[in-house]
A = this chain, B = another copy of it.
Amino acid sequence: VTTSHTRPVTAFVQDGFRDTPQRRAVAAAVQDLEWFSSAQQVHEVLRARGSSVGLSTVYRTLPALAAAGLIDSVRSQTGEVLYRKCAGRHHHHLVCRGCGRAVEVSAAVVEEWADHLASAHGYAEVTHSIEIFGLCPRCAIRPSVR
């Protein structure tokens, strides 16, 4: 749901990833994207940039980067998986349903609440998913194309 790292996504090579032009391209794209985007959107961006990375490579790279904690991933309300570079430590997001623009949010209170609650019920391997969705000021006025 979120992890930590201030390192740029493009530093993926240090995490045991083999250094290929495709992965560089994907990493660079995510690095530049300011908002949460789906694998397909990232792929479009790449093609728009002239890169010819295959869609499957994007679909294989993104989850890998996320697993390595280099990028964040959230599942949109419609079920797609969205990715974005992560900025700071553990946090959650206030995501715009319209354009994907997100505000990073953190609240120790909530984290503790979740963990405490879960262990109080004897649940193990606890993870939580806290996402807030809404329409950002811009999209609230003129519905954007997503």
Contact = CB atoms under 8 A, between A and B. Distances in A.
Interface of A: 75, 77, 79, 81, 94, 96-97, 103, 105, 107, 109-110, 113-114, 117-118, 121-137, 140
Nearest to A127: B133
20 contacts: A75-B77, A79-B81, A94-B117, A94-B121, A97-B125, A105-B117, A109-B113, A110-B113, A122-B136, A122-B137, A122-B140, A123-B135, A123-B136, A124-B137, A124-B140, A125-B135, A128-B130, A128-B132, A128-B133, A129-B129
A94 B107 CA distance: 19
Q: How many copies of this chain does the complex contain? A: 2
Nearest to A76: B75
